[in-house]
Amino acid sequence: MFDVLVYLYENYWRPDACPDHDQLSRKLTAVGFETDEIQEALHWLDGLADTSQGYTGVQSDDAIRLYSDREIESLGETSVGFVTFLESAGVLPPPMREMVIDRAMAAGGNPLDLDDMKIIILMVFWSLGEEPDALILDELFVAPEERLIH
């Protein structure tokens, strides 16, 4: 599923640029993705679209997010820590964080791989038509050992 999501991010600059599900399925099949993987990704994207429509961007600045045991188990401590880092850096506002958590829980994993969490975060930005700044893109896609320290 995550390979399909990355393909969509790279080939469609925003969600409304994607063709309808039938046409998109044919295109993804022609590119070489498996039918099950395509269907899983499309189902996941439907959930993302539903979540995006309810996005208001408004939440109290003094709200605190407590993760349930089930969320920590499903997301993994590394992914929870990464989401918390992005939120504390001011990059991931609380409503977007909730979208990320919702979609991460829908993806499954137990625990979710950090690279998959990064794709989910990127897809949430994509679904809202927002481009993460260059530093966040670097954090999402450049391996720590490959970063240049100035």
Query: pLDDT digit of tens for each residue in the chain (150 aa)?
Result: 999 999 999 999 888 888 999 999 999 999 999 999 999 999 999 999 998 887 776 666 667 889 999 999 999 999 999 999 999 888 898 999 999 999 999 998 789 999 999 999 999 999 998 888 777 777 766 555 554 444
- 119-123 contacts at long range (C-beta below 8 A, 24 or more positions apart): 119/2, 119/5, 119/6, 119/9, 121/83, 121/86, 121/92, 122/9, 123/5, 123/9, 123/48
Q: Which pTM value belongs to this model?
A: 0.86
The predicted structure's pLDDT at residue 19: 92
